[in-house]
A and B are shown apart, each in its own frame.
Chain A
Amino acid sequence: MPGNVQSVERAASMLQLLAEENEPLTLQQIAGALSLAKGTAHGLLRTLVDVGFIEQVHPAGPYRVSAELFRLGVDRLDLNELRARALNWTDALAARTGESTRVAAFRQGHVVVAHHVFSADETRQTLVTGTYVPLHASALGKILLAFDPGAARSIIGQELPSLTYRTVTDRFALQRELAVIRDVGWAAAVEESEPGICSIAASIRDRGGHVVAAVGIEGPVEQLCDERSRPRPGLVTQVVRAGRAISRELGHGRDE
């Protein structure tokens, strides 16, 4: 039987150490406390920062356990519960816009569709609940990239595959777009995952203000966009409102 993996043991000791301290610790202090070479300690700390278990107060600053670690598993919103809470508002969004409506969250490296409402055009449609949408080429995915640190970390060092000629595959272009999304609070993907298809999405926040999911509509580009391929402002407003309503359902902005 193989022995314990030394680096996992060391990483666990680091987490224990940081969790017990009230103040952030420097690399020097951590390496000293655990009798590790500075290079070894630094490598482990870098990895723990990348997976989101610890964070630095400022770049090159001391380390502390990230708030995310304490939410690990405990508060994670059940996707079936998310669907039940979103149901009324996604129905209203689908009915108002006439477009197919989805709610998605980031799970195990993928944007998973938690809920799907058919478009109102009465064509034959199939539920896509449980399937994935592309992280960098869909409005739902971009919302999660912009606001969910786990989703953002998952594309570090990964290639952004081109799905259509309009897919944003340049990392810097994508980062610039995510910054805008964080400012305006909604995202769009116009023919970026599939020719002729556009999607618009907004964030869903929990009681604590964390973005836990995204809600959006998807449909033919001529229905969702104006002549200049810009998302129609009326539809954007509806999507943002639905996101706010579902967030309120999850306790965001409610006193009780």
Chain B
Amino acid sequence: MSAPEKYIAALDQGTTSTRCMLFDHGGHMVSIAQREHRQYFPQPGWVEHDASEIWSIVKRIMPQALADAGADPEDVVALGVTNQRETTVVWDRSTGVPVSRAIVWQDTRSSSVLDRIAATLGAETITRLTGLPLTGYFSGPKLRWLLDGDEHLRMRAERGDLLFGTMDSWITWNLTGGVDGGLHVTDVTNASRTMLMNLETLDWDPELLRALDVPAVMLPQIVPTIGVLGRTVEPLAGIPIGALIGDQQASLFGQTAFDAGDAKCTFGTGSFLLLNTGTEIVRPESGLISTVAHKVENEPTSYALEGSVAVAGGLVQWCRDSLGLIRHTSEIETLAAGVADNGGCYVVPAFSGLFAPLWEPRAQGVIVGLTSYVTKAHIARAVLEASAWQTKDIVEAMNSAGGTPAKSLTVDGGMTADNLLMQLVADVLDIPVVRPMMAETVALGAAYAAGLAAGYWADRDELRRQWHRAAEWQPAMDPVRRKAEYGNWLHAVSLTQGWGRRS
């Protein structure tokens, strides 16, 4: 009789849903359990999640994923945790209850504290220390907004009653026992998104803590991305936690983009292009971010350049949830395929201001070019085109920063199921677009990282051999049309800035 099959689990706490997946030795998905959580939009520009709801979803889906695979906790060699980045949770150390709803990465409220931060430490210095532009996207300014708004809260934080963390910290603290000795940790990839960590020392930086006015006592301990840090207590006991890694860094890892020059673009709620720059920190330009790709204990750190787009699939979700244009997100393709072009309509989803390459927090979304000719099918097409053009903007920024233009684009994420979108991306970039044989590279990357930590996979070469091409889209757009459409797109983008700056 052969030994029972062993698996690696990945917990992917994303912006709209949380999923738990089990992978076998070939890197193939064996089971998946997932559930969406509620999105709160209390004011224009504000986005919140209930961290308690998310933890209760984790408690429910982890056992379900194991049951679907017929696996017991001892069959799971290691767990990798990956998460929506920057989303900020503050909770009470002794009760385990969050003090407020989590402020989500797309939330723009913290742009109001940027002037206060800049008054203490110049924007250029902050970028030099952290690799990040001074904007409200990162968790440090979000935490500052929370503490500045409530004197009592700041007092409790300074007393050491409160803990801060991104979703990786919140989940891990709860997985490892919560109020009964839960580990308060975050990994370097997540910490690199706080604006509180020094990109070179990989530690909290006193100068940054002072500028953002954050008490050190509430911060988690920064740990390497890959390395067993403890075992789970809840909801299943005894599973080693082998990796913590931010979602975009996880998908870079899941694409086996381990070496300098490897890149990927993930189409999820937002879209994120990451280029592995090896062990060198490349100073950001053209609106890009310098960030940690991953770190193994006692090994040199891997860094990445990132182009971040706040709204991609999020726009499709908005069409479903807020407009009722479609019933399921995939129907956007069906609707858009009903027309041959956008009918002159352009949608720029600057819901969270604009991220890369412009970083304009005051920009607001627009739908332009409306005439009686425009139907909902044209709008659906413009919605998909918006994701394609935004990808072009960050690929161009990456090309000018990297020096060598990309010859193809490796993509992943749930939106790669949208063939029309993938064709549009190939068309506007004028390079082939390639999807690997596992679109859910975020979870796969977390599994790979945890599996390496636990010795489930021997080395990275073994993982590279598991990468296969699942689909490829070739560019087919007339160059004259591409140029004209790009001009229209850039004009529409400029309108979001003009509209946002009024008053």
Contact = CB atoms under 8 A, between A and B. Distances in A.
A127 B471 contact: yes
Nearest to B332: A80
B29 A88 contact: yes
Given A117-B471, A127-B419, A127-B471, A92 B330 contact: no
A127 B493 CA distance: 33
B417 A83 contact: yes
A34 interface: no
B330 A78 contact: yes
A219 to B, nearest CB: 14
Contacts of B328: 78, 81, 84
Contacts of A80: 330-331, 333-334, 417-419
A120 to B, nearest CB: 4
A95 B468 contact: yes
Interface residues of B, number: 28
Among all A-B residue pairs, the 5 with the closest Cβ atoms: A81-B330, A84-B417, A84-B330, A80-B330, A80-B333
Interface of A: 78-81, 83-84, 87-89, 91-92, 94-96, 115-118, 120, 122, 125-127, 129
A143 B27 CA distance: 29
A138 to B, nearest CB: 20
A83 B438 contact: no
Given A91-B437, A95-B437, 17 more contacts: A78-B330, A78-B331, A83-B419, A84-B328, A84-B418, A87-B414, A89-B29, A91-B29, A91-B438, A92-B29, A92-B30, A95-B466, A120-B437, A120-B468, A122-B468, A127-B419, A127-B471
Contacts of B417: 80, 83-84, 87, 115
B377 interface: no
A11 B318 CA distance: 42
Most buried by A among B329, B416, B417: B417
B490 to A, nearest CB: 29
Nearest to B474: A126
A178 B418 CA distance: 33
Which secondary structure dominates chain A's binding surface?
A: helix
Interface string B416-452: 1111000000000000000001111000000000000
Contact of A84 (B414, B469, B472): B414
B29 A94 contact: no
A208 to B, nearest CB: 17
B437 A88 contact: no
B42 interface: no
Most buried by A among B27, B30, B437: B437
A91 B334 contact: no
Contacts of A94: 437, 468, 470
B174 to A, nearest CB: 23
B28 interface: yes
A95 B469 contact: no
Nearest to A120: B468
Interface of B: 26-30, 32, 328-331, 333-334, 414, 416-419, 437-440, 466, 468-473
15 contacts: A78-B330, A83-B330, A84-B328, A84-B417, A88-B439, A91-B439, A94-B468, A95-B26, A95-B27, A95-B438, A117-B437, A117-B470, A118-B468, A120-B437, A122-B469
Contacts of B418: 80, 84
B33 to A, nearest CB: 11
Contact of B334 (A78, A88, A116, A126): A78
A94 B436 CA distance: 11
B329 A91 contact: no
Given A88-B440, A120-B437, A127 B472 contact: yes
Contacts of B419: 80, 83, 127, 129
A17 B123 CA distance: 76
Nearest to B415: A84
Contacts of A91: 29, 437-439, 470
Contacts of B416: 87
A87 to B, nearest CB: 5
Nearest to A121: B468
A136 to B, nearest CB: 27
A87 B26 CA distance: 17
B320 to A, nearest CB: 12
Contacts of A117: 437, 470-471
Nearest to A130: B419
A127 B29 CA distance: 23
Contact of B473 (A78, A115, A127): A127
A119 B373 CA distance: 43
A172 to B, nearest CB: 39
Contact of A118 (B28, B414, B440, B471): B471
Contacts of A129: 419
A81 B414 CA distance: 11
Contacts of A89: 29
A92 B334 contact: no
Nearest to A119: B468
A170 B437 CA distance: 39
Contacts of A126: 472
A89 B470 CA distance: 12
A127 B434 CA distance: 11
A80 B26 CA distance: 28
A127 B426 CA distance: 14
A83 B334 CA distance: 12
A83 B414 CA distance: 11
A118 B330 contact: no
Contact of A79 (B334, B414, B437, B471): B334
Nearest to A86: B417
